[in-house]
Amino acid sequence: MNPGQLNSRITLKHLVKVEDEAGGYEEHYEPYATVWAKVVNKTASKSLEAEEVISIADYEITIRFRRDVLFTDRAYSIDKEFIQLAPSVDVLEKHRYLKLLVRQVVPEVNHE
C-alpha cells in the first residue's frame, strides 16, 4: 500500500468504565491516538426497525500498525463515529498496516 493513501485523520478512543454513586458504572471513550487513515465505504443500506428507517454504513479503515488497538475501541473522524464489527487485522501479518472493519454510528433522531 502507498502510505499517501492514508489521507484522513482518525482519532482512536479506548472504552473507559467509571464507577457511579449507585454502585454501577458509566462508560465513556477517551482518546489515545490520532492517526492518518484510509477510509473506504464498503456497504450502505437502509432497514426498517420499529417503523423507523435505519441507515447502516460499513467502512474499512486502514492505519499504520499499532499494538494498542482493542476490539472495544471506537474511531472518530471529523463528522463520523465508528464501532468495530470484528477484531482488527494485521494486513499480511507484516506489522505494517492494521485494518479495522467498522460501522458508522448514526445518531438517534428524536421526532417529538
CATH of the domain at 42: 2.40.10.270
Boundaries of domain holding 39: 3-104
In a domain, 23, yes or no: yes
CA 82, CA 32: separation in Å to the nearest integer? Answer: 15
Whether residue 100 lies inside any domain: the answer is yes
Q: State residue 4's pLDDT score.
A: 83
pLDDT of residue 10: 96
Q: Which residues contact 58 (CB under 8 A, 6 or more apart)?
A: 41, 42, 43, 44, 85, 101, 102, 103, 104
How would you write the pLDDT of the chain (112 residues) with one tens digit per residue?
787 889 999 999 999 998 888 888 889 999 999 999 999 999 888 777 667 777 788 999 999 999 999 999 999 998 899 999 999 999 988 999 999 999 997 765 555 5
On whether residue 112 sits in a domain, the answer given is no
User: Could you tell me if residue 110 is inside a domain?
Assistant: no
Q: Which residues are paired to 44 by β-bridges?
A: 57
32 inside domain: yes
DSSP state, 71?
T
What is the structure's pLDDT at 109? 57
Number of domains in the chain: 1
Question: pLDDT value at position 45?
Answer: 80
